[in-house]
Structure 1
Amino acid sequence: MKKDFIRDIQNSCEKAVELELSLDETREKYNNVLRNSNNKAQQKKIAFLESNLEQLTGVKKQLIEQNSSLEREVVIAERKVLARNERIQALEALLQDAQEKLTTQNQKFEAQLQAVRERLEQARRNQAQ
């Protein structure tokens, strides 16, 4: 899960960089067009480039927001995993302790049972005599 988040973040960053490069190229083309001509065909091209620039800016903002959101999700997921692992360790320690106590109690019970059996056997022998 963590690797997927990191991969998503890396992909988002790469897209953002590509979009920034594309944005710079578009701005450069826009400035060149403005300097070179004012005819209608180039005005259409300018309008197209401006529209493209606006779209790229919007996508860039969206990717930055998505990247921030994914980074927050990764931090939250890491905290949850850490808390879960700590809980597992605590439960394992409790289980080990309970098993040790049970083993000790079982040994005491077996010793008491053996003592009762020996007394019973002794009583039977005494009764048989």
Structure 2
Amino acid sequence: MRTMLHSKIHRARVTRCDLDYEGSITIDRDLLQAADILPFEQVQVLNLNNGARFATYVIEGEAGSGEIGLNGAAARCACKGDIVIILTYDQVAEADLAGHMPKLVYVNEQNRITSVKQAIGAIFF
């Protein structure tokens, strides 16, 4: 088994940081559906502004809100307006690697979806 990228929300902007909320990240439901991410699923968050990388779990936000809200301890890892990449991973059997295609969700400055693509993992074979 290999740990492979399952999905990515690319260059989303943090809209809110709430230190007093339980730890997690709140993500607009539309973004979750496009990236095939479930509520309470573990995600890795990469902050392009300060280099922080951390794992947390997802809380579903209101559809169409554009929300990317960092809660609890995660709120210390970014500031409102920071640009983040949100990743999920799969365990993929060696025999299935050639057909593995992660979902890539691209957003604009308001965290609205501009495109959804599937990366072709077979380029290495």
Which has more strand, going by share of residues?
A: 2
Same fold (TM over 0.5): no
**Which TM-score applies when normalising by structure 1?**
0.17
**Which TM-score applies when normalising by structure 2?**
0.18
